[in-house]
Amino acid sequence: MNIVSFVSKDMLTDIYDVVIVGAGPIGLATAIGLRQRGIANILVIDQTRAFRQVGQVLDLLPNGLKSLRYLDSHAYEAVKNAAFGLFNSQPSTPAQNTPKPSPKWVYKNFQGETIREISLSFDDWFQEYGEGRVSIAWYNLQTALRQQLPPDIVKINHRCINVVDEPDNNCVRIDCVSDTTVEANPYAHWENSKPENLDKTSEESFTNKSFRARLVVAADGINSTIRRVLYQNSPYTDFAKPEYSGYAAISCREIANIPAEVEAEIETKFLQKSPVTTICQYESSRNESGEMQSTRMMLFRSRATGQFGYLVHSALPLAVLENQSGNSLKELALQVFENAGFPDVLKQLVCLSPPENIEHRPYYIHRAMIADAESTPIQPTWSFDRVVLVGDAAHGMPPFMAQGANQGLEDALAVVTLIAKIAKENNWHNKQVITAAFQKYEQLRRPLMAYVQKATLNPPYTSSEDWQEYSQHLYGRNFEQA
Gap between the Cα atoms of 295 and 310, Å rounded: 13
- Report how far residue 392's alpha carbon sits from residue 366's, in angstroms, rounded to the nearest whole number: 8
pLDDT score for 95? 54
Q: Of 337, 364, 391, which one is at a domain's C-terminal end?
A: 364
User: Is 384 found in the same domain as 324?
Assistant: no
Per the prediction, the chain carries an average pLDDT of: 87
Give the range with max mean pLDDT: 77-86, 110-119, 139-148: 139-148
User: What are the φ/ψ torsions at residue 472 (nearest 5 degrees)?
Assistant: -65, -40
Q: For the segment 202-252, what is each residue's pLDDT rounded down to a tens digit?
A: 444 568 899 999 999 999 999 999 999 999 989 999 999 999 999 999 999
Residue that terminates a domain, selected from 364, 394, 424:
364
User: Which pLDDT tens digit goes with each residue over 26-39?
Assistant: 999 999 999 999 99
Within a domain: 352:
yes
* CA 409 distance to own-chain centroid: 10
Residue 203: per-residue pLDDT:
45
User: The pTM is what?
Assistant: 0.88
Position 56 in a domain: yes
Q: Which of 100, 102, 97, 62 is nearest to 80 (CA)?
A: 62
Residues in the chain: 482
The answer to whether residue 199 scores a pLDDT higher than 50 is: no
For 156-242, strand residue ranges (E) read 159-166, 171-178, 207-218
On the question of pLDDT at 462 being above 90, the answer is no
pLDDT at 194 over 60: no
Q: What is the mean pLDDT of residues 130-148?
A: 95
In a shared domain, residues 413 and 264: no
Whether residue 154 is found in the same domain as residue 286: no
> Does one domain contain both 406 and 307?
no
> Is 120 contained in some domain?
no
Question: In the listed set 310, 334, 364, which residue is the last one of a domain according to the structure?
Answer: 364
Residue type, 362: P
pLDDT of residue 304: 76
Which residue range(s) make up the domain with 260?
243-364
**Same domain, yes or no: 48 and 73:** yes
- Is the pLDDT score of 11 beyond 70? no
Q: What is the 3-state secondary structure (H, E, C) of 73-114?
A: HHHHHHHHHHHCCCCCECCCCCCCCCCCCCCEEEEECCCCCE
Is the domain of 217 the same as that of 264?
no
Residues 180 and 211 in one domain: yes
Confidence grade of residue 115 (pLDDT, cut at 50, 70, 90): confident
Specify the CATH number for the domain of residue 386: 3.50.50.60
pLDDT in tens, 63-106: 999 999 999 999 999 999 999 765 555 555 555 555 566 788 89
442 in the same domain as 343: no
CB contact set of 183 (below 8 Å; sequence gap of 6+):
195
pLDDT value of position 274: 85
- Does residue 316 share a domain with residue 185? no
Higher per-residue confidence, 166 vs 50: 166
**Res 30: pLDDT:** 98
Percent over 90 (pLDDT), the chain = 69
Residue 4 domain-assigned? no
| pLDDT score recorded for residue 287 | 44
255: three-class secondary structure by DSSP: strand
Lowest mean pLDDT among 126-130, 457-461, 464-468: 457-461
The total number of structural domains in the chain stands at 2
Are 233 and 275 part of one and the same domain?
no
Q: Residue 21 forms beta bridges with which residues?
A: 45, 218
Average pLDDT over residues 296-315: 89
Asked whether residue 122 is domain-assigned, the answer is: no
Q: Identify any residues that bridge with 173 across adjacent strands, giving them in sequence order.
A: 164, 212
Mean pLDDT of 169-195: 71
pLDDT score of 281: 78
- What average pLDDT score do residues 181-193 get? 58
Q: In this model, does residue 294 exceed pLDDT 90?
A: no
Which element (helix H / strand E) includes 122? helix 122-129
pLDDT at 24: 96
- Dihedral-angle region of residue 51 (phi above 0 means left; psi in -120 to 50 means alpha; beta otherwise): beta
| pLDDT computed for residue 454 by the predictor | 92
Q: For the residues 408-433, what does the mean pLDDT come to?
A: 97
**Can you tell me whether residue 314 is helix, strand or coil?**
strand
Same domain, 412 and 432: yes
The pLDDT tens digits of the residues spanning 44-58 come to 999 998 888 877 889
Answer yes or no: is pLDDT of 367 > 70: yes
Query: Are 48 and 15 in the same domain?
Result: yes
Which of 187-196, 274-283, 342-351, 410-419 has the lowest average pLDDT? Answer: 187-196
